[in-house]
Amino acid sequence: MHEMSLAEGVLQIVEDAAGEQGFARVRTVVIEIGQLSSVEPEAMRFCFDAVTRGSLAEGAVLEVIEVPGSGLCLSCDRTVPLAALYDPCPLCGGFPVQPTGGTEMRVKELEVD
């Protein structure tokens, strides 16, 4: 489950921000998870709860914004919605479709005290 190491990375980002900005508690962490990122939002929530125990983010809500997948079809040269990596173009059926969105995972914002 790679979500555990990702949750540890999110906690590290939160702790680094606390050191730089001087806050003592985190109430909410908002992250974006792309549909094509291979990160399961529910697994991420579970792991986040586990890794934040005893930290300044203990009890914080992990809010997940799911980013839809998109790609550029190299056959018809259009940007199209993409449900999964390596899917054909939904417009022309062509391959390959180069992912252009939905592969990312990032911390978007923090609500702190």
pLDDT digits (tens, 9 = 90+) for 65-91: 999 999 999 999 999 999 999 999 999
- For 4-36, the pLDDT digits (tens) are 999 999 999 999 999 999 999 999 999 999 999
Are 97 and 24 in contact, with CB atoms under 8 Å apart? no
Are 27 and 46 in contact, with CB atoms under 8 Å apart? no
Q: How far is CA 101 from the centre of its chain?
A: 12
Over 90: is that where the pLDDT of 1 sits? no
Predicted pLDDT at 35: 97
Model pTM? 0.88
Please give the CATH number for the structural domain made up of 3-68+102-112: 3.30.2320.50
Predicted pLDDT at 23: 96
